[in-house]
Amino acid sequence: LAKTTQPISMDSYEGQEVNITCSHNNIATNDYITWYQQFPSQGPRFIIQGYKTKVTNEVASLFIPADRKSSTLSLPRVSLSDTAVYYCLVGDGVYQGGKLIFGQGTELSVKP
Amino acid sequence: DAGVIQSPRHEVTEMGQEVTLRCKPISGHNSLFWYRQTMMRGLELLIYFNNNVPIDDSGMPEDRFSAKMPNASFSTLKIQPSEPRDSAVYFCASSLGQGITEAFFGQGTRLTVV
B74-105 pLDDT, tens digit per residue, is 999 999 999 999 999 999 999 887 556 688 99
* DSSP calls for A90-110: EEESSSTT--------EEEEE
CA distance A107 to A93: 25
Q: Which chain B residue has the Cα nearest residue A41?
A: B107
> In this predicted model, what pLDDT tens digit does every residue of B4-51 receive, in sequence order?
999 999 999 999 999 999 999 999 998 999 999 999 999 999 999 989
Ranges of residues in chain A with a pLDDT under 50 are 94-97
What residue type is assigned to position B75 of the chain?
Answer: S
Show residues of chain B in contact with A94, CB under 8 Å.
99
Looking only at the bridges linking them, the beta strands covering A106-111 and A84-92 are antiparallel
pLDDT value at position B9? 97
Closest residue to A46, CB basis, from B55, B102, B107? B102
pLDDT value at position A1? 58
Show residues of chain B in contact with A102, CB under 8 Å.
35, 42-45
Looking only at the bridges linking them, the beta strands covering A61-64 and B65-71 are unpaired
pLDDT value at position A97? 44
Question: Would you call A51 an interface residue with chain B, using a CB distance cutoff of 8 Å?
Answer: no
Taking an 8 Å cut-off on Cβ atoms, the answer to whether A102 and B56 are in contact is no
pLDDT of B111 > 90? The answer is: yes
Looking only at the bridges linking them, the beta strands covering A18-23 and B65-71 are unpaired
pLDDT value at position A90? 87
pLDDT value at position A71? 96
Show residues of chain B in contact with A43, CB under 8 Å.
4, 91, 93, 105-108
Taking an 8 Å cut-off on Cβ atoms, the answer to whether B45 and A100 are in contact is yes
Taking an 8 Å cut-off on Cβ atoms, the answer to whether B106 and A46 are in contact is no
CA distance B102 to B78: 26
pLDDT value at position A13? 97
pLDDT value at position B99? 59
Question: Would you call B90 an interface residue with chain A, using a CB distance cutoff of 8 Å?
Answer: no
The upper half-sphere exposure of residue A67, i.e. CA atoms within 13 Å in the direction of its Cβ, equals 6
Please name which of A31, A19, A6 lies closest in space to residue A77, comparing C-alpha atoms. Answer: A19
Q: How many CB atoms lie within 10 A of CB A8?
A: 9
Closest residue to A32, CB basis, from B97, B98, B101? B101
CB–CB of B79/B65 below 8 Å? yes
CB–CB of A3/A24 below 8 Å? yes
pLDDT value at position A69? 95
pLDDT value at position A94? 47
Min CA distance, A17 vs chain B (Å)? Answer: 25
CA distance B16 to B105: 28
Q: Which chain B residue has the Cα nearest residue A95?
A: B99
